[in-house]
Structure 1
Amino acid sequence: MILTTCPACAAPLAHDAPRCVRCKLRYCDSTCQHDHWRRGHKQMCKKIHRGGNAEQYNADKKYKEAVAVAVEKCADDTKGQTCYICTQALHWKTKEGLIRGCACRGTAGFAHLSCLAEQAKILVAEAEENNWDKAGNERWKRWYSCSLCEQEYHGVVRGALGWACWKAYLGRPETDRPRQLAMNVLGMGLHEVEHYEDALSVQEAELAMKRRIGASEHELLAVQNNLARTYAKTGRFEDAVRTSRDVYSGRLRVNGEEHESTLRAANNHASFLIDLRRYKETKPVLRKIIPAARRVLGESHHLTILMKMNYAAALYQDRGATLDDLREAVTTLEELEPIARRVLGGQHPLLVMIEDRLRNARAREAGVPMEPI
């Protein structure tokens, strides 16, 4: 996580908390700072300072750890391949192996995380030189999506790129656009690798930062949307439903009912209602937004696929489901599975979820009792 808690007592820190003069590590107060100094910081302070001070030192360390995990996770898939950017099997400088976490097929899409990060930095720097013209947001996507297949990276690759992005821009002022976006990329990356408590601390810090600098309602809603998802993953389902309801209402007001951001907010809200097993509230929301998603995004869009999967789940997980409900759930998932496989690839987490839900829906249709909740 980014350094949002006191290293001495673990209490949450204010953004302007006092710092170590040399390495810039933040503390609650001088008492915590002196205590931490006596308990070992004295030996580490110079090393942290040489590493670019506390935040940079932490990000560099987390990035190296995340790269090692990603390379190991992808080792079987990348054996015998080369990076599509530098054309080498091992990175010339870091000696790291290859990764692939997108929908590329065959020999496409293999890369070094360092090459992906360097490519993204170059593209973003060019966008900044042009005052972040229309291409700026498209170039920024290279921090979290493949330039070949355009699919967002997932799993450990997304997590490592989050740290790569944050360490590239963390030294800039809070008002700097890439720094703000980098905090978002890091939070999403931590969420993707299931480090939910860490993601929550980053996203809460991001929301506080956005409020300090007077960000637009659109930007605040985007952060709150991510926060709602993380609340759910940490078991705070009521907070997730409350926040997601506010975000959905805000998106309807700001963007209208057929904007992608509104559709995404509605789907998130429905997901959290499913987590709370409030299926009677869930189904009307999804019945309303799925036709809109088909019109606006198309049948093969990731969000449309996710909505339809959630709708099927709300149908078959309801203990009061009729036989027609169960048949509709099975049919929906059977139609969805080949679309997801074609669009997302055989290893994508969403496809795995669809296959799991299809097995469960078929079992319920066949009369197998649900396990006790």
Structure 2
Amino acid sequence: MILTQCAVCATDLGLTLGKKCGRCSTRYCGPECQVQHWKEGGHDQLCKKIKKAGGAEQYNANKKYSEAVAVAAEKCADDTKGQTCYICTEALHRHTKEGLVRGCSCRGTAGFAHVSCLAEEAKIWFTEAEENNLDWKVKIERWDRWYTCSLCEQEYHGVVKCALGWACWKTYVGRPETDRSPRSAMSLLGSGLSEAEHHEDALSVKEALLAMLRRVGDSEYNVLAMQGNLACTYGELGRLEEALCLREDIYSRRLKLIGVEHRQTLASANNYANSLSELKRFEEAKSVLRKMMPVARRILGESDRITLTMRKIFAEALYLIPDATLDDLREAVATLEEIEQTARRVLGGAHPLVRSLEGSMRLSREAHRAREASNA
């Protein structure tokens, strides 16, 4: 995670509190921990090395990036065997010797790359926009290369997105917090950590970023986006009531701020309904989705991930409700079969949404068969 704790006692310091080593910027809660770290914690041996790397935050980012790349390459090893990077055309990266990854929706022989190559391409793409002083809309489109495959145009997922999150953070960590780039990099890192199921680390990053956004007076739009990411992590950590309260508030505020047809409002409705469903408030979840699914299908299309996820949550609410009718169960099975085919075609069989749909489809069929047997 990013460095928000004392290096000795792990006291939470946020992004601004505490004391720093004058040479390398390693952070402490106070002079006692700093002295202890120098005398007993080995900091006297590492201090110059950390400073040479660019300071404590940069040193940590570089280290975490290398670890994440190794994990991603190992995870993808079976899929990438015998392939080459579509950017540098090598199997092993000529400098880092890292292996290949593929964590998007490319299939066949497409989409294999080194994380280093993907990161360098994204960096060049965004730097060009900065150097030519292009407007922020263009910069956002260029920024998407940090987490979106340029071939299949789908987002990376799992450990590959986590590695790219660390690559992005180590690239922009040295910039001031008033610059948009480190804030966007922190957001990507938080999402990547969540994708790799490092939820406690993701929580630390997201809470630190939310505090930063408020401190620099960022827009309500961006603050709401960060709160939405934070709510997702609350849910993953089992803090379901906290997630629900936050998501309900975000949904309500986005309706007023940007309107019912905006993608972020639709995403908020989806997340709110998911929280209701997780707490077994299925009728309330269905009520939200009945209102928003037609809008999502009209604005985003049938194959968009938000549309697919909305329909998945609705179908799950149909078969999970204790008094589900046989017609409800039939509708759930038919809906899940339909959207699983669409998701598989668009996202590929390895995508987390497709795998989740496979599990929901199996459970809905079991519930349907059980109800048919009990009615026979």
TM bin (shorter chain): over 0.9
Match of 1:19 in 2: 20
| Alignment deviations for residues 64-123 of structure 1 (CA, whole Å, 9 cap, x no partner) | 011011111111111111111111111111111111111112211111110000000001
CA offsets, 1:122-168, max 9 Å, x none? 01101111324232111100100100110000111000000000000
Corresponding position: 1:39 with 2:34: no
Q: Any conservation in 1 of the 2:326–2:371 contact (CA below 8 Å)?
A: no
Unaligned 5+ residue runs, structure 2? none
- Give a deviation string over 1:173-205, Cα, whole Å, max 9, x none: 001111111011100000100000100000000
Question: Residue deviations 1:308-328, cap 9 Å, x none?
Answer: 111111111111222221111
1:264 alignment counterpart: 267
Greater mean alpha carbon deviation, residues 318-327 or residues 205-214: 318-327
Tell me the equivalent position of 2:237: 234
Task: Give structure 1 regions of 4+ aligned residues with deviation exceeding 3 angstroms.
Answer: none
Question: For residues 4 and 23 of structure 1, what CA distance do their matches in structure 2 show?
Answer: 15
Choose from 201, 209, 224 the match for 1:198.
201
Aligned: 1:280 with 2:310: no
Out of 117, 120, 125, the residue aligned to residue 118 of structure 1 is: 120
Q: CA RMSD in A?
A: 1.3
Could you say which residue in structure 2 is the equivalent of 1:28? Answer: 29
2:60 aligned with 1:58 = yes
**Cα displacement string for residues 279-329 of structure 1 (whole angstroms, at most 9, x for unaligned residues):** 121110111111100000000111111111111111111112222211111
- Give, in whole Å, the separation in 1 of the partners of 2:126 and 2:295: 33
Amino acid at match of 2:103: G
Give the secondary-structure state (helix, strand or coil) at the position aligned to 1:339.
helix
For residues 239 and 204 of structure 2, the distance between their equivalents in structure 1, rounded to whole angstroms, comes to: 14
- CA distance in 2 between counterparts of 1:274 and 1:309 reads 11
Deviation at 1:218, TM superposition (A): 0.3
Q: Describe the shift of the 1:242–1:132 C-alpha distance in structure 2 as closer, same or farther (beyond 3 A).
A: farther
TM, length-normalised to structure 1 = 0.97
Q: Which moved more, 1:326-335 or 1:261-270?
A: 326-335
Report how many residues are paired. 369
CA offsets 1:323-365 (integer angstroms, 9 cap, x no match): 2211111111011111111001011111000010010001111
> 5+ residue gaps in structure 1?
none
Counterpart code for 2:34: Q
Q: What residue is the counterpart of 2:70 in the other structure?
A: 68
Give TM-score scaled by structure 2 length. 0.96
1:183-332 residue pairs with structure 2 within 5 A? 183-332=186-335
Q: How does 1:81-160 map to 2 (within 5 A)?
A: 81-133=83-135, 134-160=137-163
For the residues of structure 2 that align with 1:135 and 1:77, how far apart are their CA atoms? Answer: 34
**Aligned residue type for 1:307:** M
**Pairwise CA distance, 1:368:** 7.0
Equivalence for 2:171: 168
Could you tell me how far 1:42 is from its partner in structure 2? Answer: 2.5
Amino acid paired to 2:131: E
